[in-house]
Amino acid sequence: MPNPITFSTLACPEWPIETVIAKAAEFGYNGLEWRGGAQGHVQPSMSPAGKGALRRLSADAGLFALAVTAYTSFVSEDPNERQANVDELRRYADLAAELGARYVRAFVGELPPGVDSARMHGRIVECLEAAAEHARHNGVMIALEPHDHFVRSAAVEPILQRATHPALGVIWDIGNTYSAGEDPVEGFAVLSQRLCYVQVKDGQGRGADWRLTPLGGGEVPLKRAFEMLLASGYAGAFSVEWERAWHPELDPPEAALPAALRVVQRLLAEAQPMHGGTSA
């Protein structure tokens, strides 16, 4: 299916797995991006029965697992801490394979104060390459999300240039990069050749003034980004990231997720004439 639409379970921290799956199918989504970590829906420590039940319920509902999220960091000065994060990412790669997910979403981390990012590039690349090689054996890819210090595409580009493992790609979060002052043209130019999937959110303002809004209610140039993606032949997933776990004041998932799906469907339909270069 070209351009399936999923959502991250960051949107519904209060729902149990069974409800997440039932609601995703009811709303009309194609799949799910499962949040890991201590507060997430999935962890490597899940029982075999729990993993099997998730796969079975998803399949019965006609849904697929896009990714699982591992909250990693590879910017510590301590090599033991970096290795612990590599090991954690490997465990999440195993989990992704067991859940039938194609990707493990991972983060580089927030640089400690006073640490030069260029000095860390080699260490970061070494960690990512090691995790990617493990993921490759499971038929899984590491999907690096530009975030924290590395949110701008220009900041993550040197890492992608050096970390060339075929099982390592990148996520484009259009809203996050916009909030950091980046134009979608810049993000597309840097990330499009290594793109695993696209996360979709909306908001107003930039930097410290950034505020999330319902999808379609902000100023993020989503239409332009969708047009560029479809014109390039992008057939990957668009995943709604409604950050309610971090912002409980946001609309509840029962209201936000169906509305977001309609917006993504409209954006795809409007961008479709751009596909194949039918317009400039």
- Which one is predicted more confidently, 280 or 170? 170
Structure token pair of residue 181: 């002052």
What is the structure's pLDDT at 273? 58
| DSSP state letters, 183-240 | -HHHHHHHHGGGEEEEEE-EEESSGGG-EEE-TTSS---HHHHHHHHHHTT--S-EEE
What is the structure's pLDDT at 275? 40
CB 240 within 8 A of CB 8: yes
- DSSP 3-state of 70: coil
Q: Which residue has the tokens 């979608």?
A: 184
Q: Which residue has the tokens 């751009």?
A: 274
CA distance 195 to 198: 8
CA-nearest of 155, 44, 42, 52 to 109 is 155
Least confident of 48-57, 158-167, 266-275: 266-275
Least confident of 14-18, 150-154, 231-235: 150-154
Q: Any idea which fold 5-274 has?
A: TIM Barrel (3.20.20)
What is the structure's pLDDT at 110? 87
Summarised one tens digit per residue, pLDDT across range 226-275 is 999 999 999 999 999 999 999 999 999 999 999 999 999 999 999 985 44
The pTM (predicted TM-score) of the whole model is: 0.94
What is the structure's pLDDT at 280? 31
What is the structure's pLDDT at 112? 79
Alpha-carbon separation of residue 239 from 140, 157, 174, 252 (angstroms) = 18, 22, 11, 17
Mean pLDDT, residues 158-174 taken together: 96
For the chain, the structural domain boundaries read 5-274
